[in-house]
Structure formats: C-alpha cells, structure tokens
Amino acid sequence: MTNAPDADKRGQFQTERRFARRWALQFLYQVDQQDDWGVIDRKLGHLRAQVLEFEEDAPTDKAFDRTWCYVETLVRGVCEHRAEIDDAIGAAATNWTMDRMGVIDRGILRLATYELMFEDKVPGAAAINEAVELAKIYGDVDTSRFVNGVLDRIFRSLQPAEDETE
C-alpha cells in the first residue's frame, strides 16, 4: 500500500520539475532564436519576473524557489555544456544537423540531453518521457517521435558496455 503523503510529495515534485523544464525550454528558445547565449543571469532575471507576474499555475513560496532553482540548473547546465550536448545530439540524430532542426526541437533535445549526461538524480527514462511530453505540446506532429528516437540513442550510448567475456 502506498503512503499517500509520499505520493503527494512525489506528485508535487514531478509537477515542479515539469514547470521548470517548460520555463527552461522557453528560455532556451529565446536565446537560440536570437543567437544570443551571453548575459544569462540578466535574462534569467527577466524570465523569473515574467513567470511570477503572468504564470497562473506557478508554484508558490518555497515550491517556486525549488522550481526556479531547477530552471537555473537546466539553463546554466545547457549553456555551459552546449558544445558537448550538441555533439551528442549530432551523433545521435542521423541525417540531421543541428542547423536543420527546429528551434523547439533543439531546445527540447538540449534540455533532455543535459539531464541524461549531467544530472545523475534524474532517471534516463524520466528525462526522455518529459522531453517527449514537451515535444507533444510545443513541437510539430513528428517532433515527439524524433525527440524520442534521438534521446533513446543518446541514452543507450551513455550506458556502460556489456562485458562480453562473461
């Protein structure tokens, strides 16, 4: 039997992470669209103010602070490791270059690839599933399948190789 308070906390945590990914995607869309990856702190401050002012479903108080902390983790992580992330995406996206991908597709792939490569506490399946959900909401008809395929290849490439001597 599941403990209801634990289930409630888990649900709240998942909701906060989903909000964080959505806001981080909005941020990445903007900087990628403008090709302006500098002055991240100022842009994060502007986004935070917009979220506080206009987002009706935003968590409040401490929950907002936790959520915003993860937004910053995602954004800073993607910006810091963008070359490595883009290399991984490029290797996994057969017949696609980063320039050929839509801005939304790139943003979703960058967020999830960052989580797959650098966030040990995020299960790979969760990062992929959340990316697919973002793709269904913000992408084109085929975006979710494309994102799922690319991220699955990246996830498998990050797994330790099976020892064939056993």
- Asked whether the predicted pLDDT for residue 1 surpasses 60, the reply is no
- Single-letter residue type at 153: R
CATH, domain range 4-158:
1.10.940.10
* Domain range annotation of the chain: 4-158
pLDDT in tens, 129-160: 999 999 999 999 999 999 999 999 999 999 98
SS (H, E, C) 58-111: CCCHHHHHHHHHHHHHHHHHHHHCHHHHHHHHHHHCCCCCHHHCCHHHHHHHHH
Interhelix angle 103-118/124-138, nearest 10 degrees: 170
* Whole-angstrom distance, CA of residue 35 vs CA of residue 72: 19
Instruction: Say which range, 3-12, 15-24, 30-39, has the weakest mean pLDDT.
Output: 3-12
DSSP 56: T
pLDDT in tens, 44-85: 888 888 888 887 777 777 888 888 999 999 999 999 999 999
* Whole-angstrom distance, CA of residue 91 vs CA of residue 98: 10
